[in-house]
Structure 1
Amino acid sequence: MTMYRLVLGALALSATVVGSPLATSYSDGVVNTTTCGSYSYSYDSMVGYGFLAGNAVDNYGDTIGFGSSITLERPSVKVTTLADGSKNVSAIVYNLPDRGWNTEGTTNFEPRIYKFEIAFQPKSGGSFKPNLQWRLVDTLILTDPYGNPLTGYDCDTKLRFPNMPHIPAATFENNGWYDFGGQNISVRVCFDAETLNVIDGSIENGFWISDEYGPYLYRFNSRGMMVEAIRPPEAFIPYRNGTESFSADSPRIDTGVDDDITPSDPDSGRSNNQGFEGGTLSPDGKYIYALLQSATVQDGGLKKYTNSYSRMVKYDISTPGESELVGEWVVKLPTFYNPDSSAKKNPRTAAQSEIYALSESQFFVIARDSGKGHGQSDGTESLYRHIDVFDITNATDIHSIDEYNVATGAVAPGGVLVDGITSATLCPFLDVNVNSQLNKFGGGLHNGGEQNWELLNEKWEGMVLIPADGKSGSDDKYYVIITSDDDFMTQQGFVNFGKNTYRDSAGYNLDNQALVFEITLPSSLKPFKDFPAGS
């Protein structure tokens, strides 16, 4: 494993706001439309771009990585229409990092969420300056039910808390930050957070986070303490040699211990680092949905050309502490042709990175390829990076069919869907990679081409909607903000509450990027009806 340079005595860096609003607005027509079932969607224009510097730090002095998920504090939304017809939009959002800097192995990063104030004036481009501003307000460290912090370390054991299933955990010596020789052993919940959803539109009601290691779903109160855990059916749980094994085969940096696991891949359940990458609450807040990033191992999950049949679960969470599985569906993810792969290894799966419930049947999903973009060695041009739509209206609900939900239960062995199961309907929609839209911002944002700061990052994993009217979406117009996960890749990184620094060996400085699109939803879909913004 590559060892990174560790430097004691870090200097403080400021998490400054980047960008300023633009002055005017104009429309340049509709980019794309699509129909999914009886519903029509319109991608009107890309209207915003902004970023937070990759070396910005949070309230605890650690490097910020804000793109794994984003959720909206709905009462905070304010939309003002100016005399020239342009709008000012402001809101409070909460952003989620995953397990910390992990390009060279896992660390004892303490999972947290960030509170940001954002502001933008929707534009169609025409200026060098970004128009989406970010200001860090606060950082909330997450804890287990006893108040102990969590860890980004790979899992090697389990913990048990009252009224919860046993939970994946990790053991380590001392504080986990390379001070060898001590005798103190800690056991913490291991956490690779991927989705964040505030309950009933406000952080005051607590929030849900989905995790890749389990894959589990966790509810936290407004202070960041874990109060509930959901373990999915056994078909989702990773097993090795007949025993559950939550390791993602992600060795730890600088521990001096060889913690690779054998075999590296599970025999069944979620694939390594392919857990609940997508998670969303229903518009009425009564249900939570979680979607695996790609297929389980037994459903072809170990190969990118057989792992398109993912699974989504639905839990009734209307009564706190009494969650109940009430739905499960197969979602066939989009595929694309990669000319760098042989014919027999095509088409490839565009794994999903986030979902957003528009109703109880239709969802947005971010689906993308991998290894392409800023800081990546495989190239700069992404071949598939979309916000698509999927519909489960006609899909087969398999949550009560035991044979599909036992430890080795398969719905698509070898990547072939079994007879009798209908997967969700997938409808391509918003192509993030359209350079004619990207080029309007930042002096020339782009997909493909030169490896520079204006090149899109590889991973786009956060998604949130804001109604353009600042309330419930009466005109069917919405802004979609997506955020990138930069993997904390910087040459001026801070860890261990600002005490130590690191430099990513790839040599790149990646910013936390965000894009804004204006869309039109079908008039019958009102995702803000139950909990309007600005109220």
Structure 2
Amino acid sequence: MQIRFSKNARRLALSTISAAVMATLPGLASAQYTSSNRDVLVPNTGAWSTAGVTLGGTTFVNLGLQGVGRVAANSIDSATGETLGSISDMQITGFTNNGNGSWKGTFNFLPDRGYNSGSIYSNYAARINTFDFTFTPYTGTTTTTAQNQIVMSFTGSTRFTYNSGTAGQVFTTGLLANGIGSLFGGTTVPTTTGNTTQFVSIGGPASTVNNRLTLDAEGLILDNRSGKGGSGWVGDEYGAYIYRFDANKQLVGQLQLPDALVPHALDGTVNFDVNVNGRRTNQGMEGIAQSPDGTKVFALLQSATLQDSGSGNQGRSNTRLVVYDVSTTDTPSAPVQEYVIQLPRIDDTGSTSNGTTVNRTGAQSSIVALNDHQLLILSRDGNGRGNPGSGSPVFKSILLADLNGATNIKGLYDGTGAAVTTSGGVLNASVTPLTWTEALNLLGKLGLTATEIELAKFNLNLNTAPGDINTISEKWEALGLVPTNDGTGQYFLFVGNDNDFQTRTGKYLDASGVLQSYNAGLENDTMVLAYRVAVVPEPETYALLLAGLALVAWPRGAASRAPDSRNLYVDNAALHARRFQWWPPRQRLAHHSQIA
């Protein structure tokens, strides 16, 4: 039975529910870094309150690191003989509570372009690697040397293909591009009327047969809509582009970017090597996410375009977010919204004294959509294992960001080379960027009385001089958020690293397709961290009512119309409203939380 209540009754119910939910959480505290206080001048390793942060009505609470898992750096893809590689993004499917204190599921890991160092460039076909895994959280208070709470078993890889025309279905490559071409019926230029892609000549003179699409895969979405199983989108750093793939992992189309994000040479032609505007080299479409209701795709450049940048690495803070409406087409011709987010700026020298100068941008590496206007964003430095000579890690954090209140700049700065900044990389005064607050600090001490960083509980460290196998990796680039399904209404947030295929006994395919050996000089394992978190969305996004001490879901039709709607149920057998649980109606929480 569905019962409707007046607006005042609903408000009373919502305020009562909100108070009950918040009573289960500690008092809230402010984050150390926010969009209005974004300069990180000392290592971000201080003690954190076990409270949470709130932005736009959504509260995020870190309940603690509960597990670590490893895959050996020298692991091999049995299908190709190549080094297996690591994680540029992830999706989690089939996540299930075993009911015995453990969980199981499947990691869908997206590696990037293969091993590349010096003169070596891998002819690496973009792919999805799948791992079945079990997760048994460790909730003890003492340090453990075990890093086996997450046990992963490689089950296979699926390489992306595309229809090249004359040569039929072919794989992509990780080799550097040396030209341009077109796919999916589009033309090369202008980019607004076609699907411009980058190609590389393999094994001989450029031709339709030899050319291959170069793809540096960095972002992954498995479509969460009904009837779309196995299909999705992959974000590319080379282009930067967003490709649509079908259930067979065949690339079948593109989402078109504003010209301002596409790299152009001085003469105005598309160019991926000597561009003077558009995406910065190796700073392309790093983060992509799908809204829980499946209607929107968010795409975030890793850092600012060339024309939006100021001097130095620290001038790359003003990066752009584009939002696509995919409710009627999988490959929209233009975004419907566009925003600016100001990423953290850091001093990565590792000085423990009060610094005065920033020298780096905390570029983003992955995003998760919590609803139609809020994102989790992984922002980090470049310090850690895998970056020889770097200092100790200074900043690796997950931000909670909100689009509400930000300026939609769609159509204002979209032309070739159009800048949203003034000289020196200063954001135009007429543009309000996204607000954000630091939600989870990977390097911090959890608890105001804690004396060790949370990572140390699992025998991990921040030492780089010298480092060891337990030194935290340089590149953390993947987020996966799934509900715990244990009656708490909480979530597990999995964070994965990109190890850049670094091993002393590596294997790669050269341009001719011949398997070769390499020695990266160290073993940099694939790693996954697992945090338990609470995410309490703003009450107004729910349609709820309160009847005595029991809660009944508001009419499902009303709830399903809200982009981030979730029906909130409280155990009717409970005699208080502090036992709560929310369930996503006919949709998944985020692009990283697809549940088979």
| Deviation of the 1:344 alpha carbon | 8.6
Determine the C-alpha separation between the residues in 1 that align with 2:183 and 2:110.
24
Determine the C-alpha separation between the residues in 1 that align with 2:90 and 2:365.
12
Secondary structure of 2:457 counterpart: coil
The answer on 1:216 being equivalent to 2:241 is yes
| Deviation of the 1:380 alpha carbon | 4.7
Q: Structure 1 length as normaliser, TM-score?
A: 0.82
Deviation string for 1:42-88 (max 9, x for gaps)?
A: 11100110010011011322111121000122xx1211333xxxx21
Determine the C-alpha separation between the residues in 2 that align with 1:288 and 1:241.
31
Q: 1:382 maps to what in 2?
A: 393
Secondary structure of 2:53 counterpart: strand
Q: 1:493 maps to what in 2?
A: 506
Equivalent position amino acid for 2:116 in 1: N
Q: Relative to structure 1, is the Cα distance of residues 272 and 528 closer, same or farther in structure 2, using a 3 angstrom cutoff? A: farther
Q: 1:23 maps to what in 2?
A: none
Q: Assess if the C-alpha contact under 8 Å between 1:235 and 1:407 holds in 2.
A: yes
Secondary structure of 2:229 counterpart: helix
Q: Relative to structure 1, is the Cα distance of residues 534 and 332 closer, same or farther in structure 2, using a 3 angstrom cutoff? A: closer
Q: Relative to structure 1, is the Cα distance of residues 156 and 499 closer, same or farther in structure 2, using a 3 angstrom cutoff? A: closer
Q: Structure 1: where are the runs of 5+ without partners?
A: 1-28, 176-180, 250-262
Q: Relative to structure 1, is the Cα distance of residues 183 and 418 closer, same or farther in structure 2, using a 3 angstrom cutoff? A: closer
The answer on 1:363 being equivalent to 2:375 is yes
The answer on 1:189 being equivalent to 2:200 is no
Determine the C-alpha separation between the residues in 2 that align with 1:101 and 1:362.
34
Determine the C-alpha separation between the residues in 1 that align with 2:276 and 2:241.
18
Q: 2:484 maps to what in 1?
A: 468
Secondary structure of 1:204 counterpart: coil
Structure index of larger Rg: 2
Percent identity, aligned pairs only? 27
- CA RMSD across the alignment: 2.7
Secondary structure of 2:504 counterpart: coil
Q: Relative to structure 1, is the Cα distance of residues 198 and 154 closer, same or farther in structure 2, using a 3 angstrom cutoff? A: same
Residue of 437, 446, 449 corresponding to 2:461: 446
Q: Assess if the C-alpha contact under 8 Å between 2:312 and 2:359 holds in 1.
A: no
Q: Assess if the C-alpha contact under 8 Å between 1:375 and 1:451 holds in 2.
A: no
| Deviation of the 1:523 alpha carbon | 4.1
Q: Assess if the C-alpha contact under 8 Å between 2:239 and 2:284 holds in 1.
A: yes
Secondary structure of 2:162 counterpart: coil
Determine the C-alpha separation between the residues in 2 that align with 1:193 and 1:534.
23
Determine the C-alpha separation between the residues in 1 that align with 2:537 and 2:411.
33
Deviation string for 1:152-200 (max 9, x for gaps)?
A: 112222222344433323333428xxxxx99997101110110111011
Within a 5 Å distance, the mapping from 1:106-505 to structure 2 comes to: 106-124=121-139, 126-129=143-146, 130-146=148-164, 147-164=169-186, 165-174=194-203, 186-200=210-224, 204-247=229-272, 249=273, 263=274, 266-300=275-309, 303-323=312-332, 324-339=334-349, 346=358, 348-370=360-382, 372-401=383-412, 404-413=413-422, 414-434=424-444, 436-441=453-458, 444-448=459-463, 450-469=466-485, 475-496=488-509, 500-505=515-520
Deviation string for 1:333-365 (max 9, x for gaps)?
A: 112234479989625310100111001111100
Q: Relative to structure 1, is the Cα distance of residues 32 and 511 closer, same or farther in structure 2, using a 3 angstrom cutoff? A: farther
Determine the C-alpha separation between the residues in 2 that align with 1:160 and 1:396.
33
Determine the C-alpha separation between the residues in 2 that align with 1:322 and 1:239.
23
Q: Structure 2: where are the runs of 5+ without partners?
A: 1-47, 187-193, 445-451, 539-563, 567-582, 589-593
Q: Assess if the C-alpha contact under 8 Å between 1:276 and 1:290 holds in 2.
A: yes
| Deviation of the 1:456 alpha carbon | 0.9
Q: Assess if the C-alpha contact under 8 Å between 1:492 and 1:501 holds in 2.
A: no
Q: Structure 2 length as normaliser, TM-score?
A: 0.74
Q: Assess if the C-alpha contact under 8 Å between 2:219 and 2:235 holds in 1.
A: yes
Q: Relative to structure 1, is the Cα distance of residues 356 and 173 closer, same or farther in structure 2, using a 3 angstrom cutoff? A: closer
Determine the C-alpha separation between the residues in 1 that align with 2:184 and 2:349.
52
Secondary structure of 1:438 counterpart: helix
| Deviation of the 1:223 alpha carbon | 1.1
Q: Assess if the C-alpha contact under 8 Å between 1:332 and 1:424 holds in 2.
A: yes
| Deviation of the 1:519 alpha carbon | 0.7
